[in-house]
Amino acid sequence: MRDRKDSPRLLPGARGVEAPSVCAACGGVCCKNQPGAVFPEDVGFPEEPERLISMLRSGRYAIDWWEGDIDPEGDLDVCYFVRPAARGREGQTRHASWGNDPCTFLTETGCALPFEERPRGCRMLTPGPEGKDCQPREGSTKADACRAWRPYHEELVEIIVQIESGYFQKVPDPGAFLLTRESPYVILKAERGESR
C-alpha cells in the first residue's frame, strides 16, 4: 500500500481511459518504457504552485524536457514538463527519459496510484488490440505536455533553482517561497501584470 506522505496527490476528478484487465495482461509495457506526462491542470498550476513543489520535493516526480522549443516561433533551448520520476532516479529534480525508463509508480500488480490520481499522460493512453501499441489520446502526448507547460517555463526554472539550491531546507513551507513579495516567481508574475 502506498504511503500518501511519500507521494503528494494530483487533483481529484480526472477523466481518462481505464482498462485494468488489458494493462495487467500486457504487464505495463507503456509504464516500463517511460512515465506519462503531468499537465498543469493535474496539479492546479499556476494557482496552487505549492502542490507541484511538494510533488517535486517528494522525489517521486521530476522535470523532463523537450530539446528545442516546442513553439516553432520560440527561442527556448528546452521546453520543460513534469512527469513521475523514472525508477532508480527518484530524488533527482530533473532528468530526461528517453525510453526504457520504468515509472517509479509501476509495481508488480500495476500502478501504485489510483486511476484518478495518475497524470493525464497516463490516464489518456488508449490500449490497442490485445494490449499492444497503446496510443495517447489527442491532447495527452509529451509534445502536448510541453505546449501546456511552455507558458510557465520561467516558473519551472525558478522552482528548479530553488529546490536544487536547498532553499526549502531553510524555508520548509513551500507557500512561503511563492507567496512572499521577495519571491522571484511573484516578482515575475507582477512584471507580467498577473495577480498571484
State the pLDDT at residue 176. Answer: 47
Domain annotation covers residue 11: no
Please indicate, yes or no, if residue 8 is contained in any of the structural domains. no
| Residue 161 belongs to a domain | yes
Residues in the chain: 196
Which domain range does residue 105 map to? 20-191
φ, ψ of residue 168 in degrees (nearest 5) = -75, -15
- In the prediction, which pLDDT does 4 show? 38
| Per-residue pLDDT, 2 | 36
Ranges of residues in the chain whose predicted pLDDT is under 70: 1-14, 129-132, 167-196
Host H or E run for residue 53: helix 49-57
pLDDT at 165: 81
Residue 155 lies in a domain: yes
Residue 15 inside a domain? The answer is no
Please check whether residue 123 lies inside any domain of the structure: yes
Looking at residue 67, what is its pLDDT?
92
pLDDT of residue 178: 44
Q: What is the DSSP string of 101-117?
A: --BTTEETTEESS-GGG
Q: pLDDT (tens digit, 9 = 90+) per residue, 121-168?
A: 999 888 776 666 777 877 888 999 999 999 999 999 989 988 888 766
For residue 98, the model assigns a pLDDT of 80
Question: What does each C-alpha distance from 127 to 89, 113, 119, 122, 163 come to in angstroms?
Answer: 27, 18, 16, 11, 36
Q: Determine the pLDDT at residue 189.
A: 52
* Phi/psi of residue 111, nearest 5 degrees: -75, 135
Number of domains in the chain: 1
Dihedral sign of CA atoms 4, 10, 12, 13 in order: negative
Largest CA distance in the chain: 54
Among 11, 9, 13, 14, which residue's Cα sits nearest to residue 124? 14
Q: For position 170, what pLDDT does the model report?
A: 55
Q: Is residue 55 part of a domain?
A: yes
Q: Report if residue 127 sits inside a domain.
A: yes
Cα(160)–Cα(67) distance, integer angstroms = 17
pTM: 0.78
